[in-house]
């Protein structure tokens, strides 16, 4: 068996051992990127290596799983896996996500504690060297501060389907007490609780750094029928609530040359290549102000085709900034020695 085939077999074995419900052949294909015929051969190879693999009937399909997990020989983490986990911990700390960094750091400690000492001693020098040689750039922007108590309470309420009550220092009524039905959390440049006002069905975004005196109520708060957090996140470029609009952007040829193929404006964007070398990007979203701020970073490489409101927002923001910087300075710095 070739090396790459061995890797594929062991990777599938890990997935089958980590799945409580098991996986169908189609799910294996999606998870690995292989075609069905190839996946059938890989599954059979896994069964030879791990005869404890079970077949479960699930309607017209069969599910496969390896009960009891795999022994440590097959589960030892690699140098690259430990490195990426350590980098993820450091990145979360730099972002101010101290609560999630703490949880991920605890996971890293547990993994290391379960490893054999000789293997750990062999990997540690390389991991330390690579941590010094690889750096995740810190982006300018807000640094959300996480309150672990708030984060854990929201998670508990979501799992139990219970309502939340808190004082919210933002929105149209700063300092007012709000009763909401929590739906989930979106982490990003700011962290947002996604929730509905009790008795309402429209999801709203609540900045978590503006939430105080949070309490879980003994009141059921089921999610609206058909709500999907991932679909909700796609409706807005940022998190300013507004009516979604159809956006069409014209990326000029010199914008294409500047890494356009590796860029994504929106998860559901559609790209139309133009004969002259440029491209049209289409998607539907709200949050035109944040989108305008982002488009400014593209300079003269992107034109806004529609909507007109987005073009007007961008030009207004530019005029405001230009007017401020064309005025005389209100503050000057005296250099040392002057």
What gap in Å lies between CA 79 and CA 120, rounded to an integer?
9
3-state secondary structure of 195: strand
pLDDT at 293: 87
Check pLDDT > 80 for residue 132. no
Task: Specify the higher pLDDT residue, 267 or 183.
Answer: 183
Q: The tokens 């975004």 sit on which residue?
A: 205
Q: Give 327 or 70, the one with higher predicted confidence.
A: 327
pTM above 0.85, yes or no: no
E strand or H helix at 172: none
User: Measuring CA to CA, how many Å separate 260 from each of 76, 253, 263?
Assistant: 38, 10, 5
Q: Which among 161-170, 238-247, 284-293 has the top mean pLDDT?
A: 161-170
Mean pLDDT of the chain: 84
The C-alpha torsion from 126 through 131 and 134 to 135, rounded to 10°, is 180
Of 14-18, 71-75, 250-254, 261-265, the range with the lowest mean pLDDT is: 71-75
The pLDDT value recorded for residue 182 is 94
CA 228 vs CA 94, 183, 269: distances in Å: 30, 9, 19
pLDDT tens, 146-175?
788 898 899 999 999 999 999 999 888 899
- Mean pLDDT calculated for residue range 135-154: 73
Indicate the pLDDT class of residue 241, thresholds 50, 70 and 90: low
The tokens 């500047």 sit on which residue?
258
Name the pLDDT band for 243 (thresholds 50, 70, 90).
Answer: confident
What digits encode the pLDDT tens for the residues 15-44? Answer: 888 888 889 999 999 888 888 888 898 898
277/254 Cα distance (integer angstroms) = 9
148: Cβ contacts below 8 Å, ≥ 6 apart: 98, 99, 102
Q: Which residues are CB-contacts of 318 (< 8 A; sequence separation ≥ 6)?
A: 296
pLDDT of res. 3 = 40
pLDDT computed for residue 124 by the predictor: 87
Q: How many CA atoms lie within 13 A of 67 on its CB side?
A: 5
Q: What angle do CA 191, 196, 202 make, to 5 degrees?
A: 110
Q: Helix H segments across 217-297?
A: 229-234, 253-256, 288-296
Cα–Cα distance between 29 and 42 in angstroms, integer?
10
Question: What integer is the mean pLDDT of 55-74?
Answer: 78
């Amino acid at each position: 068996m070739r090396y790459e085939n061995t890797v594929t077999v062991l990777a599938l074995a890990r997935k089958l051992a980590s799945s409580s419900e098991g996986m169908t052949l189609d799910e294996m294909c999606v998870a690995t990127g292989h075609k069905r015929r190839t996946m059938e051969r890989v599954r059979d190879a896994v069964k030879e290596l791990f005869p404890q693999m079970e077949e479960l009937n699930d309607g017209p399909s069969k599910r496969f799983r390896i009960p009891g997990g795999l022994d440590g020989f097959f589960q030892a983490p690699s140098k690259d896996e430990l490195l990426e986990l350590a980098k993820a911990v450091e990145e979360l700390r730099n972002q101010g996500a101290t609560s999630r960094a703490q949880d991920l750091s605890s996971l890293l400690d547990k993994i290391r504690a379960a490893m054999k000492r000789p293997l750990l001693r062999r990997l540690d020098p390389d991991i330390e060297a690579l941590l010094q040689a690889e750096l995740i750039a810190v982006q300018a922007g807000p640094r959300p501060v996480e309150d672990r108590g708030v984060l854990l309470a929201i998670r508990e309420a979501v799992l139990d389907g219970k309502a939340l009550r808190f004082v919210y220092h933002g929105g149209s009524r700063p300092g007012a007490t709000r009763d909401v039905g929590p739906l989930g959390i979106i982490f990003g440049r700011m962290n947002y609780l996604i929730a509905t006002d009790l008795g309402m069905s429209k999801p709203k975004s609540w900045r978590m750094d503006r939430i105080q005196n949070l309490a879980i109520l003994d009141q059921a708060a089921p999610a609206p029928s058909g709500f999907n957090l991932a679909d909700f996140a796609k409706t807005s470029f940022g998190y300013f609530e507004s009516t979604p609009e159809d956006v069409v952007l014209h990326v000029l040829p010199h914008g294409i040359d500047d890494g356009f193929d590796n860029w994504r404006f929106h998860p559901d964007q559609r790209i139309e290549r133009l004969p002259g070398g440029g491209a049209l990007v289409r998607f539907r979203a709200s949050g035109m102000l944040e989108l305008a701020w982002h488009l400014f970073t593209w300079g003269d490489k992107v034109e806004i085709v529609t909507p007109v409101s987005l073009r007007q927002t961008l030009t207004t923001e530019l005029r405001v900034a230009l007017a401020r910087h064309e005025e005389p300075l209100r503050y000057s710095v005296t250099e040392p020695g002057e």
